[in-house]
Amino acid sequence: MIESLILVSSLCIDTFVASIAYGTDRIKIPFYSNLVINLVCSLFLAISLALGGILKDFLSPNTASVLSFALLLSLGFFRLFESFFKTYVRKFSSTGAPLTFKVFDFKFVLEIYANETKADYDKSKTLTLKEAVYLAVALSLDSLAVGFGSSLVSINHLQVIILSFVIGTFCLFVGVHIGKKFIEKVDLNLSWLSGLMLIVLAFIRFI
């Protein structure tokens, strides 16, 4: 249970920070958009957990443990320095060349990854269902690798997925309301905390 909470909390930090940014920008996230975001995020996590579980059957316990440790540790260190990557993306996007690409008819917008509030591309100050999907995909990029790495060692998939949906929905709701309390926009970066949690999780799973 503790490992599941650490895993889900590390993934929900981005959701919490993004929701605070939406609150400070006075962008509304309707309840249905909140549900869509967390359904999509949980779906991505479920897929990655399933893929990792399948691969685990073909690996020896020691190999799976080492691979899981390496993936989680690498992702943890990446998250520690992720703010530098996001800064680079913001600078590149400011040149007017949109960082976009398509995968299976999904339009992934890296600008949303660097600045989540750009998901409200119609400037309506309300996150529509379509915009919610864009935001969810951007928030789910990390969960693909984290879920895959975690599932290489025994973990309760259903527990993780349910916790992901419940905690993610709560973080989004609370974050928006906290953000509304700020008069000016705040540049909050907690990716380092997520990275630290993943590093701790890596060692817990390895020991």
Which residues partner with 101 through β-bridges?
108
183's CB contacts (< 8 A; 6+ apart) are none
Give the pLDDT band of residue 16 (cuts 50, 70, 90): confident
Cα–Cα dist 133/24, whole Å: 21
Total domains in the chain come to 1
Alpha-helical regions (H) of 25-99: 31-56, 61-80, 82-93
pLDDT at site 174: 92
Most confident option among 34-38, 113-117, 148-152, 183-187? 34-38
Distance CA 113, CA 176 (A): 18
94 or 177: whose pLDDT is higher? 177
Residue-range definition of the domain harbouring residue 16: 2-206
42, with CB counted inside 10 A (0-12, 13-18, 19+), is buried
- Residue 173 or residue 123, greater confidence: 173
Q: What is the pLDDT of residues 105-149, one digit of tens each?
A: 344 455 665 566 667 666 788 888 888 888 888 788 778 888 888
What is the rounded distance in angstroms from the CA atom of residue 164 to the CA atom of residue 173?
Answer: 14
The chain-wide mean pLDDT, for the chain, equals 78
